[in-house]
Structure 1
């Protein structure tokens, strides 16, 4: 049995909110600073912020969060940055799935849970600028606790130097926690962000972990924070370097087809999507990751 972890829960939820605020500010600054190149003569995008609430089956409060979405900007066609803290009891389907996948005994007898995290997906106006996904989270039950998350790059037109920078920045943030973390989490991302029915990865990878619990909460939380801290320095320079590129209709077509792969993965395989819907979280927030436009050939 785990302790109540009240202090740890508070600290984790506060960190995810702090990271959300940093990213929203950085992205709006990027919108304002795009003054040369495609769409620079349009109004800079701003996030529309909506409070989300979750209720339990008996109508009682079960947490919620903030859904922040920027649409139709100079740089971002659609980007969502969600943060939430939810709690309550897991339904029978979620209990069975968690007990089976994570090997947690006692879920049926005491199905309480608490979960907090940040989730981000960015779809770009410019096909030369890569889409990206990032999330970090903490999950607690009376029987176990763990951290998860990571970030992965999803360019429709790949630039080897962008891929190298993204991975090198993540490695630099993970190496202080142990030389084995980056190769392990990179391999995990390669396995997780794979689309079996297409026989291909959805992007160029990144880092990913789940069920992370070494027994040292402070060390695990520090690792999770550094996964989050790696995101902006890994990603912003790539957008800065590509947002002024001119693009063709053929480039845009490549982007829309690639977005179709992203949508397929998120709807069919993504664990976060399934968990959010199974536990009754706001469907719009859960499905925020879907692109505004996509196509299939």
Structure 2
């Protein structure tokens, strides 16, 4: 499995590089409309480190964050490859979802992935989240991830186009995947204490293991590669649209909903903090400004 781990970790870095380059190109090409007179944004890149309980190195990654650009108010694209031993709470949470005999006796793990959250300057441009990951223990491996759209001001055409790209990526591997993973996203990204979804959905999957690593990895790559074609055209369509104070207010209120979900319900946030990963990288998803009514 060592070769497979290296393949996955290297691919997450490749995807990260493609996204960072495309987002900076969006900044450069924004020449008209709101915020076009500002300097083009650039990513600030820093290394992240994870330290095990005994103080030894346990991996890390890269945190890439752009703030105050022409198009992106804040966007983070993080990658990490970490390893170590799961604590009791993490083992218990995992055992509740998976049949992994022996996990309590041998709680070693290895995980790699990419995580992205973008909060936009123009409220007509939707926020977005994407991640893909591979997880390994001595008792099994699996893939997870997905992508979901979070507009403050909803456009049916944008939602349809975003979902259409996700469906095509899924259908190329299994025509049952899209309906299954769309329903999973609708359930996972629901905010119980608000009684509503945090956005207009997308796809989400976890614990994905058909028994064929190469096939499953190819599917994961398709999900990651679908992100830019699904998201960038929506931004190019909306970034020059004028907006009102009411539009901006709606965006800030929606960001409050997004922050509530990520802090209270998101499983990835909890796992990252509980396993000792860099807190700034874990909480990169939070918006730069938000509002509650």
| TM-score of the superposed pair, with normalisation by structure 1 | 0.98
SS in 2 for 1:107: coil
Tell me by how many angstroms 1:95 deviates: 1.3
Q: Which moved more, 1:243-252 or 1:102-111?
A: 102-111
Which consecutive aligned stretches of 4+ in structure 1 deviate over 3 angstroms post-superposition? Answer: none
Deviations 1:83-116 (A, max 9, x none): 0000011111111111122232211211100000
Report the aligned-residue RMSD: 0.6
Match of 2:30 among 34, 42, 45: 34
In structure 2, C-alpha distance between the alignment counterparts of 1:225 and 1:129, rounded to whole Å? 26
- The answer for the alignment partner of 1:144 in structure 2 is 140
CA distance in 2, matches of 1:103, 1:217: 19
**What residue number does 1:16 align with?**
12
Q: 1:1-297 residue pairs with structure 2 within 5 A?
A: 5-297=1-293
CA distance in 1, matches of 2:4, 2:92: 26
Structure 1 gap segments, 5+ residues each:
none
Q: Alpha-carbon deviation of 1:211?
A: 0.4
CA distance in 2, matches of 1:100, 1:106: 14
CA distance in 2, matches of 1:100, 1:240: 42
Q: Distance in 1 between matches of 2:199 and 2:92?
A: 31
Give the total of aligned pairs. 293
1:11 Cα shift? 0.3
Gaps of 5+ in 2: none
Tell me the alpha carbon deviations over residues 42-77 of structure 1, each in whole angstroms, 9 at most, x when there is no partner.
Answer: 100000001001111111110000000000000000
CA shift at 1:18, angstroms?
0.5
Q: Which moved more, 1:202-211 or 1:104-113?
A: 104-113
Paired with 2:193 and 2:120, the residues of 1 have a C-alpha distance of 25
SS at match of 1:77: strand
